[in-house]
Amino acid sequence: MKWEEVRKIYPNKFVKIQVLDSIVEGNKRYIKDVAVIQAYEDNQEATKELVRSKDDILVYHTGNEKIEIEIKQIFGFRGVM
C-alpha cells in the first residue's frame, strides 16, 4: 500500500507499518510501499511500540507527507580492549 493511501484511511493517527519497498539516496531512505499492522488512538501506546520496533517495522504519524528516514553512519569498534 502506498503512503498516500494509508494517510487517507488513517488520518492524523500513528500507525505501525512494515516496510515492503524502499530506496536509498545519499543518507536518506525513502519508503515507497508499506503494510499497515495497526493504528493507534493513544499516543502513549504508539510510543511504546516505537521503542520495541526493529528491522523494517516502524511507527509513523500520518500527518507526515512522506516517510523519509535519515541513515546515520556509526563508526567504531565494540568490545575492543
Determine the pLDDT at residue 5.
96
Determine the pLDDT at residue 81.
56
Residues in the chain: 81
Q: Are 9 and 30 in contact (CB under 8 A)?
A: no
Q: Per-residue pLDDT for the chain (81 aa), expressed as one digit of tens each?
A: 999 999 999 999 999 999 999 999 999 999 999 999 999 988 899 999 989 988 899 999 999 999 999 988 877 766 655
- pTM, entire model: 0.81
Q: Which residue is it, cell 515492503?
A: 20
Residue among 69, 66, 58 nearest 7 (CA): 66
Three-state DSSP class for residue 46: helix
Determine the pLDDT at residue 26.
92
